Amino acid sequence: MMAQKVSKLLSYWLRHSPDAGNLTLDGSGWAKVESVKASLAREGIDSALLEPTVAESDKQRFELSDDGTRIRARQGHSVSVDLSWPITTPPEFLYHGTIERFLEAIFSEGLKPMTRHHVHLSPDAETAARVGARRGPAVILRVAAGRMANQSLIFRLASNGVWLTDTVPPRFIEQV
């Protein structure tokens, strides 16, 4: 499906490899829409697909600036950007979907951002199950976010509902 191809290219360019898309990201992760469209055209893709792809992305992965001239990924970067999502008090529990194979490491060293900037957490177990299922049979972990916040650990909330934190120590993690 073409929209999926556009979404994959945008993820790759805007999160991991702006060079591959001939793009420059500013400190907050924004690229010029014009440049992204030129790069899509170079890939043989109709650049008019950009706006509908952004609007229809199931996870609202990307955002356009108010004037429509800039675009960025809402999270998930491996390149250095400061997205500045607002520090927000989390609900008592947040959820993380993973797979069996990672559990031993997670329960010994905690949840780590791995190649991303943050650990990504979901507001509900269903969403976490979908995230985990990308890799195999999903295992759902419940994170005591409220207790973490009480101990001054910081959470940020992206505008698509994904919760971000630096690491989750094992004592706050429980398998459900």
What is the rounded CA–CA span in Å between residue 124 and residue 131? 11
DSSP tag of 16? I
Out of 109, 124, 126, 174, the residue judged to bind ligand HQG by CB under 6 A: 109
* 117: contact with ligand HQG by CB under 6 A: no
Phi (first) and psi of residue 83, to 5 degrees: -80, -20
* 61: contact with ligand HQG by CB under 6 A: yes
Q: 165 has which bridge partners?
A: 119
Q: Which is nearer to ligand HQG, 135 or 147 (CB)?
A: 135
* 83: contact with ligand HQG by CB under 6 A: no
Out of 6, 71, 81, 131, the residue judged to bind ligand HQG by CB under 6 A: 131
Alpha-carbon torsion 9, 131, 105, 87, what sign? positive
Q: Which is nearer to ligand HQG, 105 or 154 (CB)?
A: 105
Q: Which is nearer to ligand HQG, 34 or 56 (CB)?
A: 56
* 16: contact with ligand HQG by CB under 6 A: no
Out of 5, 112, 142, 147, the residue judged to bind ligand HQG by CB under 6 A: 112
> Which residues make Cβ contacts (< 8 Å) with residue 76, sequence separation at least 6?
11, 15, 61, 116, 120
Q: In this structure, what token pair is assigned to residue 112?
A: 């780590």
Contact predicate 21/15, CB 8 Å: no
* 143: contact with ligand HQG by CB under 6 A: no
Q: Which among 62-70, 85-93, 111-119, 149-157 is the span making contact with ligand HQG, rule CB under 6 A?
A: 111-119
